[in-house]
Amino acid sequence: MDETVSATAASIADAVNAKARSAREVTDAMLAHVDAVDDRVGAYLTRLHDLARAQADRVDARVAAGEKLPLAGVPLAVKDNMCLTGTRTTCGSKILEHWVAPYTNTAVARMLDAGAIPIGKTNLDEFAMGSSCENSALGVTRNPYDPGCVPGGSSGGSAAAVAANEAAIGLGSDTGGSIREPAAFCNLVGFKPTYGRISRYGLIAFASSLDQIGPFARTVEDAALAYDAMAGHDPMDSTSIDRAVESTADHLRTDLRGLKVGLVREFDTEGLGGEIDAVYKKAYADLEALGAEIVEVGLPSAKYGLATYYLIAPAECSSNLARFDGVRYGLRVDAADVGAMYEATRAAGFGPEVKRRILIGTYALSSGYYDAYYVRAQKARTLIAQDFRTAFASCDLIACPAASSPAFPFDSKSDPYSMYLMDYYTIPMSLAGLPAVSVPCGWVKASADSSPMPMGLQLTSPIFSERLLLGAAHAYERATNHAALRGPAVGAPA
């Protein structure tokens, strides 16, 4: 196997810009690798061979003309809830199984303009609703470190693609943890920027006040390069922040001297089990060894995060998914009248988890229950954001788990509640709109007879402080090097 497929995005871009390797050569090597391994991983719903080669030729022409592209020739995996002109964009749902996007998501367009190569569209929990990628109606995605385990969700396809060396960078969307948890499960860096930092235009909405696009990568430097390419104001997105963006890739740190890192007293890890607790205690000690001052902070309202999220997100989902009615987009099941057609189309097109969340959200917004549920959830959200502001008055960063366990076997969490609990540590940051990143922090056996699986340390910082956050994550990554300790079972270089 060509070792280019396991190279970092930074090294690929350097080689292509220096004309030591062409984007077309990199692309052909990656496409061959995807064809060789993806039937065992299931990362991609659609492979884009012709589009990838055409983009590679355009990149080579631009480089030959003297342009220096920050992501020249970098293979890119795109979560299949992001539109890309002329490609099937399914959201992992039968209702959009054959829908072809007529325009391109802004974040994807910016990645392509920076020189990235679209290898394919990746699997996800249907409409990004899930924590394991088991809710897709269109395929099964396996964890490259243990094919018997889930890759995490909802952005499991993009995470699996990068972990299996089927892309150098993957794009995901994070509503309550859908980048950070799969990154932890797949031994990757997963970064959710401040809400509004990256345009949502062309992202098929789940919960509009929470959804945020971000990258998966094998290094913090690569994640920073992708973020720098995508971030910035977009007039096509009303929630896009019109504020100057600080570059991050050229401001990465090697230590944490001068920084205070807060440990949340409500996020005690002893109840997670001895091995998991030891991994996180060691991670906190490593932060201190890098020069950080460790302080205790409180997030007293964080315990309401799950309940708050699972009212607000389903409420917004029930509104956003009303457009999929058999008239305007995707699947249509004909019936005797319009009402029956709506019912038949949505019954056939949506899976159980999507239906569950639509029902929860519609109930929470209904007459007589709006004030009791939705309004109270919004008040709790405000309290959670206030708690973070108070905590950041005494620290620069907060460190906590990205997930409460390593990747688990398929079908081992059959009830919705146990699956929802997987988002316990990631949801509060989403409700507050904060930037957060998961970085590999160690390995844990899920059971006595299983192989060790990766875990992720979550770091978060105040809004618009991506430079600080990624700089600190880089220092921790370089000092500990957990990601390099074991290669994936599927997709590793021969």
Residues 6+ apart with CB under 8 A from 365: 315, 318, 319, 374
Numbers of helices and strands, H then E, in the chain:
15, 11
CA distance 261 to 217: 24
Which residues make beta-bridge pairs with 303?
Answer: none
Residue with tokens 């000092």: 479
> 3-class SS at 403?
coil
Residues in the chain: 494
Residue 216: name the closest of 247, 239, 185 by CA. 185
CA dihedral 9, 15, 18, 24 (to 10 degrees): -90
- Calculate ∠ Cα 129-135-138, nearest 5°: 120
CA distance 455 to 185: 6
| Angle at which helices 466-480 and 274-289 cross, to 10° | 110
Q: Is residue 353 within 8 Å of 131, Cβ to Cβ?
A: no
Residues 6+ apart with CB under 8 A from 322: none
The amino acid occupying position 435 is P
Residue 319: name the closest of 186, 466, 206 by CA. 206
DSSP symbols for 37-74: HHHHH--EEEE-HHHHHHHHHHHHHHHHTT---TTTT-
Q: 211 φ, ψ to 5°?
A: -60, 135
Residue with tokens 């994807």: 108
Which residues make beta-bridge pairs with 295?
Answer: 262
| Angle at which helices 376-391 and 305-320 cross, to 10° | 130
Tell me the catalytic residues: 79, 154, 178
> 3-class SS at 300?
helix
DSSP symbols for 226-295: HHHHH-S--TT-TT---SPPPP-TT---S--TT-EEEEETT---GGG-HHHHHHHHHHHHHHHHTTPEEE
